[in-house]
Amino acid sequence: MRHHHPVRAVVVTRHGPPEVLEVQSRPVPQPGPGEIGVAVEAAGLNFADVLARAGTYPDAPPPPCVLGYEVAGTVEAVGAGVDAFQPGDRVMAATRFGGQAEHAVASVEDAIPVPDGLTALQAAAIPVNYGTAFAALKLMAGVRAGETVLIHSAAGGVGTAATQLAKHYGARVIGTASASKHESVRRLGADHVIDYRHADVAAEVRRITGGLGIDVALDALGPRSMKSDWRLLRPGGRLVIYGLTEIQRGERRNLRAALRAELTLPFATMPWWKGHAVLHENRGLFTLNLKHWWDRERNLGRLVLPLRELLQGGVIQPVVDSSHVFERAADAHRRLMEGRNIGKVVLVPN
């Protein structure tokens, strides 16, 4: 049964502070070939949404637009050629925007059945965070048992997922988080937690590792910490950078800071300035952008399939920080911007 009456959606009316978000009526998107239509029960909020709303995320659609990279809910309609799902199935899916609405469309290759015992809120916390963590730790860094992994912002959405997965793969995990979040990060499996606000992270990492350094670092903070991470890598070490939260901090869109981060990025993260000396570094840098991955491969199947296995094995235990009704989307954005969340911030239609 296909609905054609309009649906409520969180709309970015123009670039600006959280107040530019409005709940508006939109037509129901119809699934095309190879797609499913989902009645959304929960939609994940990601830092990309915060940047897109502020206008500092070049990949986002122009406003007015509906953001949202991931949803959980019930399949309501299937497009031509879809046999993996049927109406009534519980599903979680990565969406090419449009997720923060009562109805969304997803490619069947970007969708995963929701296992029994998982709520819609938990399911909406999985595709982007665990997809990112899996791509970073396994496909890129190839983390192995016994290696030491440094995870910045270990209490955040990707951070909580990466901490769980790194422990599952047998790594020793060092997380960074503000002091009030240390207990939560330890419960997720971190062996050591560093208060990045009051401690010298690099000095603490050297102390914890007895001067050896780390095998893998996951960093979404920005140019300054990346440079420090690079120096902490032991021979064979890998740094994975995924996103730039340093660009967007606080209420106002800070263009100067954004530009400065853009300009310093190549010099801060890549040892270009060393010329051919880079051949002697014994270290590797990976950059991770899920949207560009999607653009290139047309789906996230290479990340989604392994997540299905990890879900079935009970490895994935998503941490939901808070849920906010669509009308309070601005509060959800602020919670993420101010870094108060432990785990995933989720939007729900009502």
Q: Which of 26, 109, 12, 144 is nearest to 66 (CA)?
A: 12
pLDDT at 7: 96
Tokens for 6, please give them.
Answer: 């309009």
Fold designation for 7-126+318-348? Quinone Oxidoreductase; Chain A, domain 1 (3.90.180)
| 130 CB-near residues (< 8 Å, 6+ apart) | 161, 165, 307, 310, 316, 318
Kindly give the pairing relationship between strand 148-151 and strand 214-219. Answer: parallel
* CATH number of 129-291, picked from 3.40.80.10, 3.40.50.720, 3.40.50.300, 3.40.1410.10: 3.40.50.720
Mark residue 77 as left, alpha or beta (left: phi above 0; alpha: psi -120 to 50; beta: remaining).
beta
Q: What global pTM score does this model have?
A: 0.91
pLDDT at 3: 57
| 219 CB-near residues (< 8 Å, 6+ apart) | 152, 225, 226, 229, 239, 240, 241, 242
CB 240 within 8 A of CB 217: yes
Q: Which of 68, 60, 52 is nearest to 8 (CA)?
A: 68
Block mean pLDDT (10 aa), the chain, length 350? 79 97 97 98 95 88 96 98 97 96 97 95 97 96 98 96 98 97 97 96 98 96 81 96 60 50 53 62 90 90 91 95 98 94 96
Q: Taking the domains of the chain in order of start, what are their residue ranges?
A: 7-126+318-348, 129-291
pLDDT at 271: 53
